[in-house]
Structure 1
Amino acid sequence: MRAAIVGGGVIGGGWAARFLLNGWDVAVFDPDPEAERKIGEVLANARRSLPSLYDRALPAEGQLTFHADLADAVSGADWVQESVPERLDLKHKVHAAISENAGGAIVGSSTSGFKPSELNSEGANVIVAHPFNPVYLLPLIELVGDAATISRASDILRGVGLFPLHVRKEIDAHIADRFLEAVWREALWLVSDGIATTEEVDEAIRMGFGLRWAQMGLFETYRVAGGEAGMKHFMAQFGPALEWPWTKLMDVPEFTPELVDLIAGQSDAQSGDRTIRELERERDDNLVGILRALRKNGKAAGAVIAAHEAGLPEPEPGDLPITVERSIPQSWTDYNGHMNETHYLEVGAQASDRFMELIGADADYIAGGLSYFTVETHIRHLGELDAGDAVSVTTQVTGAEGKKLHLFHSIHGPNGIAATVETLLLHMDLEARRSVAPDGAVANHIENYWQAHRDMPRPQGAGRFVGER
Structure 2
Amino acid sequence: MNNKDAVSARQLRSAYEGQKATPFDFEAVVSVPLELHRCTVQQGWVDYNQHMSESCYLLVFGDSSDAFFRYLGIDDDYRSGGHSIYTIETHIRYLREATLGEPLRLTLRLLDVDHKRLHIFHEMYHAGSGALLANAEQLLMHVDMQAGQAAPFSPGLLARLNVIHSAHSQDSRPVDKRRVIGINRRTPT
Cα contact 1:360–1:441 (8 A) shared by 2: no
Q: Relative to 1, partners in 2 of residues 1:407 and 1:468: Cα closer, same or farther, differing over 3 Å?
A: farther
Kindly indicate whether residue 174 of structure 2 is the aligned counterpart of residue 462 of structure 1.
Answer: no
- Larger helix proportion, structure 1 or 2? 1
Question: Does residue 138 of structure 2 align to residue 423 of structure 1?
Answer: yes
Deviations 1:68-123 (A, max 9, x none): xxxxxxxxxxxxxxxxxxxxxxxxxxxxxxxxxxxxxxxxxxxxxxxxxxxxxxxx
The change in CA–CA distance for 1:423 and 1:431 in structure 2 (over 3 A counts) is: same
**1:390 pairs with one of 66, 81, 103:** 103
Alignment match, 1:330: 43
- For residues 248-288 of structure 1, give each alpha carbon's deviation from its aligned partner in whole angstroms, at most 9, with x where no partner exists: xxxxxxxxxxxxxxxxxxxxxxxxxxxxxxxxxxxxxxxxx
Asked whether the 8 Å contact 1:330–1:387 carries over to 2, the reply is yes
Give the AA of the match of 2:151: V
Deviation at 1:465, TM superposition (A): 2.3
Alpha-carbon offset, residue 415 of structure 1: 4.7
Secondary structure of 2:56's aligned partner: helix
Task: Give the one of 69, 73, 82 matched to 1:369.
Answer: 82
> Which structure carries more strand by proportion?
2
Look up the equivalent residue of 1:427 and give its one-letter code: H
CA distance in 2 between partners of 1:454 and 1:333 (Å): 36
After superposition, the C-alpha distances for 1:389-438 in whole angstroms (9 at most, x for unaligned) are 10010000011012110010000113511000111001111122221210
* Shift of residue 323, structure 1, vs aligned partner: 2.4
2:102 maps to a residue whose letter is: D
Please state whether the residue corresponding to 2:122 is helix, strand or coil.
Answer: strand
| Alignment equivalent of 1:351, drawn from 53, 61, 64 | 64
Q: Counterpart amino acid of 1:352?
A: S
**What is the 5 A alignment of 1:265-344?**
296=11, 318-344=31-57
Indicate the residue corresponding to 1:437 in structure 2: 152
Deviation of 1:361 (Å) = 1.6
CA contact 1:398–1:406 (8 Å) conserved in 2: yes
SS, match of residue 350 in structure 1: helix
Are the equivalent residues in 2 in contact too, given 1:411–1:417 (CA < 8 A)? yes
Change (3 A) 1:426 1:318: closer
The CA distance in 2 between the partners of 1:468 and 1:373, in whole Å, is 30
Residue type matched to 2:48 in 1? Y
Pick 1 or 2: higher relative contact order, CA cutoff 8 A, min separation 6. Answer: 2
Root mean square deviation, CA, Å: 2.3
TM-score, normalised to structure 1, is 0.32
Aligned to 1:381: 94
Letter in 2 for 1:438: F
Measured at CA, do residues 369 and 459 of structure 1 come closer, stay the same or move farther in structure 2, by a change above 3 Å?
farther
Which protein shows a greater Rg?
1
- SS in structure 2 opposite 1:462? coil
How far, CA to CA, are the matches of 1:460 and 1:319 in structure 2?
A: 12
8 Å Cα contact 2:107/2:123 also seen in 1? yes
Identity of aligned residues (%): 31
Structure 2 distance, partners of 1:460, 1:447, is: 20
Change (3 A) 1:459 1:341: farther
* Cα distance in 2, alignment partners of residues 447 and 468 from structure 1: 37
- Superimposed CA distance per residue, residues 138-176 of structure 1 (whole angstroms, 9 cap, x where no aligned partner): xxxxxxxxxxxxxxxxxxxxxxxxxxxxxxxxxxxxxxx
Q: Secondary structure at the match of 1:356?
A: helix
How far the C-alpha of 1:440 sits from its partner, in A, is 3.1
| Aligned-partner residue type, residue 445 of structure 1 | R
Distance 1:406 1:376, change over 3 A: same
Q: Distance in 2 between matches of 1:340 and 1:386?
A: 9
What is the correspondence of 1:93-108 to structure 2 with a 5 Å cutoff? none
Tell me the distance in 1 between the aligned counterparts of 2:96 and 2:130.
Answer: 8
Within 5 Å, give how 1:238-253 maps onto structure 2: none
Using the alignment, how far apart are the partners of 2:77 and 2:12 within structure 1?
A: 20
In the alignment, the residues of structure 2 paired with residue 421 and residue 363 of structure 1 have an alpha-carbon distance, to the nearest angstrom, of: 25
* TM superposition shift of 1:362: 1.3
